[in-house]
Structure 1
């Protein structure tokens, strides 16, 4: 089977890490496992993984802090959080730090594989198209590059795909459910709050150009269509 890239699993529970390793390996990914946050940070530098499956509840340096450090270094390797906390606040905090997705224990290994596949596909530049301009914002789908007034903006893979999807049809209003299906590739519409968090993060990064993304109350979001 053709290898799809290396996934770094950071998990201190052996039964869970072994399950993740078996399913991700069976899907064609190379897999490396670390059991604590500090070793994980070293492994990211050493191995340059394609994606990271990161448990939040690690001993010592927890997953949220690991993600914070990575993003602070300018490392935007796609991250999927694994959390045992069925608390929306924890998930939102994680996403605000730059995580791309999350699954909650107990989770389906097949769902985890699907999430990782989707992130790797998007980060590799599977979305094609021309450069779209939304006022001062330019979205280059082929190069996966976003600029505001010529200044490059660093986005996670999911943040980029969300903006690119909205920009693909300026003025069209997408519901949260449509965005979850098209961008995340999931049908779990109970997690639609995830869309709101990513939109908030996008606006924060776009700064004065945040108006490129418009909220349509009670419906969803659209990209500005007034150039």
Structure 2
């Protein structure tokens, strides 16, 4: 079965180029120039495996559209296209729950690689693993972090980072180690995105004071998760 891509891009020339290239790579692409047409699909059949959203679109911008999609399809993988190479774009997208971003004009080969990486990460969580972390319980298949005070649905990126931290429990992990192994790049913006995800995990685990994700200035993070069997 082919991977079905939702492409939201209002530029007719760029959208057609992307659609044709992705179809040559054996993806099935549904291209929408009007984001309002996508909103109408959210309450019905939504047969896509990943979404590629341009940020600057008329009527509904990419960020607003992403919020609508995530509200209805919480773990739906998203990749943003942006013509603006600015920090606020990237961090805003990450906070919404985006899995990646790429600046326009983009190299189609790089775009395909990023899509495949996102899909690969998504496939890691098809088997169910239950992990007890202090007062919390993690269900990897549902991407669900449970606590008596409430449950949190993780994004794929958040769970990927959490599992990596669990693999290196009770050790010191350098920032470069995390970026090179999870993000496969190490620049200013990916470093800032890591800070966003670390802050989120600290917030999620705030009910258990025994869980520590401590920053070490200029080094990385000291991790201490009380794992219960």
- TM-score using structure 1 length: 0.84
**RMSD of aligned Cα (Å):** 2.6
**Whole-angstrom distance in 2 between the partners of 1:202 and 1:42:** 33
Pick closer, same or farther for the CA change 1:69–1:130 going to 2, 3 Å: closer
1:78-111 superposed Cα distances (whole Å, 9 cap, x missing partner): 1101111111012111211111111111222111
Pick closer, same or farther for the CA change 1:70–1:100 going to 2, 3 Å: same
Identify the residue that residue 18 of structure 2 maps to in structure 1: 20
Identify the residue that residue 145 of structure 1 maps to in structure 2: 143
Say if 2:53 is the partner of 1:42: no
**Whole-angstrom distance in 2 between the partners of 1:112 and 1:30:** 15
**Whole-angstrom distance in 2 between the partners of 1:16 and 1:199:** 35
**Whole-angstrom distance in 2 between the partners of 1:110 and 1:82:** 14
Shift of 1:197: 1.5
Matched length: 223
Match of 1:8 among 3, 6, 9: 6
- 1:75-86 equivalences under 5 Å are 75-86=74-85
3-state DSSP class of the match of 1:28? coil
Shift of 1:140: 4.1
Pick closer, same or farther for the CA change 1:177–1:22 going to 2, 3 Å: farther
**Whole-angstrom distance in 1 between the partners of 2:17 and 2:176:** 30
Identify the residue that residue 174 of structure 1 maps to in structure 2: 173
Pick closer, same or farther for the CA change 1:136–1:88 going to 2, 3 Å: same
1:8-55 superposed Cα distances (whole Å, 9 cap, x missing partner): 010011222223223322333211101122112234543331010011
Moved more, 156-165 or 51-60: 156-165
Shift of 1:188: 4.5
Contact 2:52 / 2:79 at 8 angstroms: preserved in 1?
yes
Structure 2 residues not aligned, in runs of 5+:
none
Identify the residue that residue 29 of structure 2 maps to in structure 1: 31
Say if 2:100 is the partner of 1:101: yes
- TM-score using structure 2 length: 0.84
Structure 1 residues not aligned, in runs of 5+:
none
**Whole-angstrom distance in 2 between the partners of 1:152 and 1:124:** 23
3-state DSSP class of the match of 2:168? coil
Contact 2:138 / 2:146 at 8 angstroms: preserved in 1?
no
Contact 2:145 / 2:154 at 8 angstroms: preserved in 1?
no
1:130-171 superposed Cα distances (whole Å, 9 cap, x missing partner): 544332233344x25332326542111111111111112212
Contact 2:130 / 2:139 at 8 angstroms: preserved in 1?
yes
Contact 1:83 / 1:105 at 8 angstroms: preserved in 2?
yes
